[in-house]
Structure 1
Amino acid sequence: MEANRVKQIHSFGQSIWLDFIARSIINSGELKQLIDVDGIRGVTSNPAIFEKAITSSSDYDDDIRELSEKSEDNEEIFFGLAISDIQKATDLFKGVYEESNGEDGYVSLEVSPFLALDTEKTASQAADLWKKVDRKNVMIKIPGTKPGLEAIRRSIAKGININVTLLFGLPRYEEVTEAYISGLEDHLAAGHSIGHISSVASFFLSRIDVMVDPMLDEKGAPELKGEVAIASAKKAYEIYKRVFSGPRWEKLAAQGAKPQRLLWASTSSKNPAFKDTKYVEALIGPETVDTVPLETVEAFRDHGIAENTLETGLAEATAVLDKLKSVGINIDEITQKLEDEGIDKFNKPFEKLLQAIEDQKAKVK
């Protein structure tokens, strides 16, 4: 029997996490099967994923009724629903967490996207959600916005596992690694151990190409289509290897610190002209995570090619970004625009989700 293609990815040092959560896949045993059969090693969630889960089934109705008797605040009701799902999922991944010595087995829960530009409220809600979920293998998602950097540092300094989301640009990614390392140093300086703290930096991919590719035709560089995001990711991995080495990092590593792994997010192909497993196949390599939607897991299981690709073509990746600059496309401006739009793209489903809860409250009462 042919080895499972998704599981093969792990032999190259990369962990596949599922970019989806719903009560139905937890209760039906589907999530457990993905762990056992495909070797899925974690889960990420976001407001859009929860909006889809809550509005597309009646699985949450009883809890909405119960929670709405205690609170009229729809955001509070949402987090009540989400925390319950996150706890069940973290319990399913407990074996992965223990077997990997805390490297994998994480389930991510995001702070309210409305707080993306508010350092104080983000840090406060991250601490609150961490306490309420009360599981060692939860990660709290904080957006890697400028105000998010200090919230990330403070959260790491409190010993909270953080998934930094909404990363597009290389300069911002480097700032995120600094926030993580500084947070570890703060925690250590306060007299705490740091070996239990885990973090990932989620680098969004296909959205970069969705924005850049139409510009490439206008600039006479169509050969770069579908290549800019992958080139950026390969350059991010070079930064990762540089930052998590050398005297400063080695001092923390000697105390048991784990490097903040790069996580490839937004890895489904948005362009039908591209292979549906394109972004997964292009970035398989050690000490990384790829968070993959269910349909992409199924596509890779069927016809994906697992090979060590992350550190191949580095010269070509540099050339792609150089060519981009030479034709007059400013990648830093584009990634900032993507970050701004990304906040909006998470706010809208969250607003829709809160309205759906309002509607469900009326229905179940």
Structure 2
Amino acid sequence: MDKLISGGVRGVTTNPLIFKKAISGSSLYDDDLKSIDLEKPIFEIYEALAKKDIKLAAQKLLPVFVETNGVDGYVSLEVNTKLADKTEETVDEAIRLFKELSMTNIMIKVPATQAGIAAIKELISHGINVNVTLIFSIDNYIEVAKTYIDSLKILMDNGGDVSKVSSVASFFVSRVDTSVDKLLEELDKPEFMGQATVANSKIAYEEFKKLFSGEVWQNLESNGARVQRLLWASTSTNNPNYSDILYVQVLIGSTTVNTVPPATIDAFIDHGVVKETLSENISDAVELMNNLKELGISMEDVTNDLQEKGVKAFADAFDNLLNSLEEKVKLIQN
């Protein structure tokens, strides 16, 4: 972690799949497990490990947080993904985690389902940092951004300090190409393959610039409010025919974040070029979306399906994490 931070990494995100690989795929957590009461419910054992990791990472990133006046240096922890369709339970768990971790540079991850968006409004309006995750569609993103702005207005009207709350909108990218390319292959239209993700992301960024301007936003900004940055998630390249840094190189823009796995970071350091690319060729992005529509490909259907599958995949990963941890606990106890 020290090496990554010194190399320029400005934050960390986690999810159940990452924790599963780390905990069940190594012996690095065995000593921590031996120091925990292993008679506790398995969920509590997981949380003890996760919260320790999150807090240590947040402490390491605190200098970045201080140096950037709270712009960077955040660590994200996800609420139980089984609560994706339960607003009240999501709010309760997010508040509990935020209080227990007790670090100013923690973000709580909440999925952008309808129940999740209602929870996000409650959390932001109470000054809790939120990483809104599993966004695939532009319409869903617009709803998330408007919710953030509305929530800041509530916080400010209630006498809260809007300068103390931060949020990102995590827009998932590579899976869009995977789904759209499959449809294009069936239609025998290879000339449009590998472009949907970038077009979708570029149009979302144009919406971001519109949403965080104008009188309402300027009033909030004058009171210290921060924009809800777009965050590009799932940016490793799934198709070996595409550049291994495709979803980093073409999505570089002001006030954005890119969460990249270590291999992609190494690849970008090796042959990436740092320059703003996100605002380039917007007309091409719009034209591609029109072409897909004419071909009968509904981006709404594609992205809704991806979000639904994403919620299920994270919930399944969480079950797998607990099952793997349970097996490890049994081994240690024996």
Q: TM-score scaled by structure 2?
A: 0.98
- Supply the AA of the counterpart residue of 1:33: K
- Displacement, 1:62? 2.9
CA distance in 1 between counterparts of 2:104 and 2:15 reads 19
- Displacement, 1:64? 2.5
Point out 4+ residue stretches in structure 1 off by more than 6 angstroms. none
1:34 equivalent in structure 2: 4
2:239 equivalent in structure 1: 271
CA distance in 1 between counterparts of 2:19 and 2:200 reads 29
CA displacement 1:129-158 (0-9 Å, x = unmatched):
101111000110000111100101111011
- Supply the AA of the counterpart residue of 1:67: I
1:43 equivalent in structure 2: 12
2:259 equivalent in structure 1: 291
Contact 1:68 1:361 in 2 (8 A): no
Number of aligned residue pairs: give it: 333
Q: Which residue of 333, 342, 349 maps to 2:301? A: 333
- Displacement, 1:35? 1.1
- Displacement, 1:65? 3.5
CA distance in 1 between counterparts of 2:239 and 2:23 reads 28
Aligned pairs for 1:35-184 (under 5 A) are: 35-37=5-7, 39-69=8-38, 72-184=40-152
CA distance in 2 between counterparts of 1:253 and 1:356 reads 46
CA distance in 2 between counterparts of 1:202 and 1:356 reads 27
2:269 equivalent in structure 1: 301
CA distance in 2 between counterparts of 1:145 and 1:347 reads 14
Aligned pairs for 1:189-228 (under 5 A) are: 189-228=157-196
- Displacement, 1:58? 1.5
- Displacement, 1:364? 1.3
Greater alpha carbon shift after TM alignment, 248-257 vs 212-221? 212-221
CA distance in 1 between counterparts of 2:316 and 2:33 reads 21
Q: Secondary structure at the residue paired with 1:108? A: strand
CA distance in 1 between counterparts of 2:32 and 2:247 reads 38
CA distance in 2 between counterparts of 1:120 and 1:246 reads 32
CA displacement 1:248-271 (0-9 Å, x = unmatched):
111111110000000001110000
CA distance in 1 between counterparts of 2:45 and 2:65 reads 29
- Displacement, 1:306? 1.9
Q: For the aligned residues, what is the CA RMSD?
A: 1.0
CA displacement 1:6-49 (0-9 Å, x = unmatched):
xxxxxxxxxxxxxxxxxxxxxxxxx1111112x11000111100
CA displacement 1:265-324 (0-9 Å, x = unmatched):
111000000110011001111110000001100111111122211000000000011101
Gap regions ≥5 residues in structure 2: none
1:13 equivalent in structure 2: none
Greater alpha carbon shift after TM alignment, 217-226 vs 344-353? 217-226
Q: TM-score scaled by structure 1?
A: 0.89
Q: Secondary structure at the residue paired with 2:163? A: coil
Contact 1:64 1:357 in 2 (8 A): no
- Displacement, 1:115? 0.8
CA distance in 1 between counterparts of 2:129 and 2:236 reads 26
Q: Which residue of 206, 228, 232 maps to 1:260? A: 228
- Supply the AA of the counterpart residue of 2:12: V
Compare relative contact order (CA 8 Å, sep 6+) and give the higher one, 1 or 2.
1
- Supply the AA of the counterpart residue of 2:257: V
Identity across matched positions, percent: 44
- Supply the AA of the counterpart residue of 1:169: S
CA distance in 2 between counterparts of 1:68 and 1:118 reads 30
State whether structure 2 residue 315 is matched by structure 1 residue 347.
yes
- Supply the AA of the counterpart residue of 2:18: I
1:23 equivalent in structure 2: none
Q: Secondary structure at the residue paired with 1:93? A: helix
Gap regions ≥5 residues in structure 1: 1-30
Contact 1:139 1:199 in 2 (8 A): yes
- Displacement, 1:338? 0.2
Q: Secondary structure at the residue paired with 1:257? A: coil
2:209 equivalent in structure 1: 241
